[in-house]
Amino acid sequence: MTTPPVTITENKARRVSSGHFWDGVSQWLVIAALLLVAVSFKHYGITWDEPLHLENGWRALDWYLSMGKDQSVLTFQNLYLYGALYDVLVSLAGIALPFDIYESRRLIGGLIGVLGLIAVHRQARALAGPRAGALAILLLLLTPEWMGQAFANPKDIPFATAAAWAGLAQIRLLRELPRPSAGALFGYGLAVGCALGIRVGGVILFMPLAIGALVWLYQRCRLEGLSDGGRQGLGAAARLLPAFLLAWMVMIAAWPWAQMAPFTRPFEALASFSHFPLRFSFLFAGQTLVTTDLPWWYVPTAFAVKLPEVTLLGLAAALVLGGRALIREKSAALTPERTGLAAFILLPPLVVIITGAVLYDGIRHLLFIMPMLTVAAALGLDKAVAVMEGRLQGRTRETKAALAGLLALWAGWQGSVMVRLHPYEAIWYNSLAGGVSGAKDRFELDYWGTALSEAASRLRDRIVTEEGSPALAWPYRVRICGPSESALYYLPPRWQAPPDGKGGADFYISFTRHACADAPAGKELLRVERMGATLAYVLDLRATRNRVAP
């Protein structure tokens, strides 16, 4: 007895049903991410330069409230070279929300991270359908670097989220050429403007759109001739100008220093950042590298050990299947929007390698390409599954069940690892680096120094438990190796650091990013550890005061 053929109507119904299922999965993943933010935003410590950004936000807010009369923000540290959009946003949140100022920053940061999840979902869905969208949001949600950085990173995740939304708007713009809609132009201009309002290096976001538009122009010229295609290209370029102008206006509005000379100062800042004068050595892949003289393999290696294995698998699938499509279909496979996505991923690392830009802290400065890498990985996985389904006709249900089971097992394992690392998800490394335990002596882990916050909190609680509440008023002296505010904020006000940072002290709190000079000897009271790696520790110096290790 033969099985009746599946009709076109039945196939369409199945695709619609499958689409509803995957859209439902995406919605539940967003809800899970929001719940994660709600229950964990108070757990994260203070990052190294976060107090400076906090102060910068207040100064920028004073600038706006005084209509430019209070100009203290214009010379504050080197932060005047950055737009103040995010710093002002979290300052306003600190006023409006009923939380501690740092807790308010955590909540806003976590929500910004979730916005990034939504952006990658919509990008992947627009390019390949609901299943790819769900895969993209799952991959980014389970990328420890993304969610671990989101809560407390004051620049890179907000910038990356703005870039992700710019990538989504770019897809719509390229599809609507030569006459993009007002909505597409507004969305792109606003997203890029927000990115520029955080970091002027966002000008690089214009390049993927330009490359995608050139592919569109090439295809149009082949189809309609050089003259007609060129004419349409000029018209399209003219219609894109409002988006660029809007992006520039948003940037200037969010950047007090640039408002003083809106047509020159952004370029001055860009020139300064291209070779930022910050030279120091750090551990990477078991070698000591210098920020101003990085090898070409730094960026690819950094991403290779920081992306989840499934994301790397998806990227490999995208590369192989995309290359095969190019060979078979030639220009038909080279769509403007997919070319724009590829440019979004490849251009920034190439620019960094060619110009020898200063980088440090792993992939922090290039986090903004992580959402696009995740989209590409989701497209690769989705296409690989489609190929398997096509080759295993008659066993499609079993294939889907097996793949879903494998994905669920990986998601469960990855989620459990993130729980074990919490709230230091960002120290995670994949199996190529040997995990956290394998990376601890070859890569930097908690370079932000956030573990100092937990160490200080645990020290306070321990001493109060041992000595009672009078300990809160006792003038204990605490030496700190690392960003001092990350620890002092969680200690009683009467507990102070020695004025010179090196004098006699009762306790010593240290992170493990690097060894501090004149580290004292003392009894270890506690240490902050995750998965075999020590991130911070506390020494009791009261019995050996003023004794310094040789």
Overall average pLDDT of the 419-429 stretch: 97
- Predicted local distance difference test score (pLDDT) of residue 15: 63
Q: What is the pLDDT of residues 508-532, one digit of tens each?
A: 999 999 888 888 889 999 999 999 9
Q: What is the pLDDT of residues 76-96, one digit of tens each?
A: 999 999 999 999 999 999 999
Lowest mean pLDDT among 150-154, 304-308, 327-331, 435-439: 327-331
pLDDT tier for residue 546 given thresholds of 50, 70 and 90 = very low
- C-beta of residue 251 within 8 angstroms of C-beta of residue 197: yes
Closest CA to 527 of 413, 446, 467, 429: 446
Distance CA 143, CA 199 (A): 23
Angle CA(33)–CA(39)–CA(41) in degrees, nearest 5?
85
Q: What is the pLDDT of residues 199-241, one digit of tens each?
A: 999 999 999 999 999 999 999 998 888 888 889 999 999 999 9
Cα–Cα distances (Å) from 193 to 183, 439, 440, 464, in that order, read 15, 37, 38, 49
Q: What is the pLDDT of residues 160-171, one digit of tens each?
A: 999 999 999 999
Given a cut of 50, whether residue 547 has pLDDT beyond it is no
Q: What is the pLDDT of residues 2-48, one digit of tens each?
A: 445 556 565 566 566 678 899 999 999 999 999 999 999 999 999 99
pTM score: 0.93
pLDDT tier for residue 1 given thresholds of 50, 70 and 90 = very low
- Predicted local distance difference test score (pLDDT) of residue 550: 30
- Structure-token match 């310094």, residue found: 548
Given a cut of 80, whether residue 331 has pLDDT beyond it is no
Overall average pLDDT of the 264-290 stretch: 86
At position 154, the amino acid (one-letter code) is P
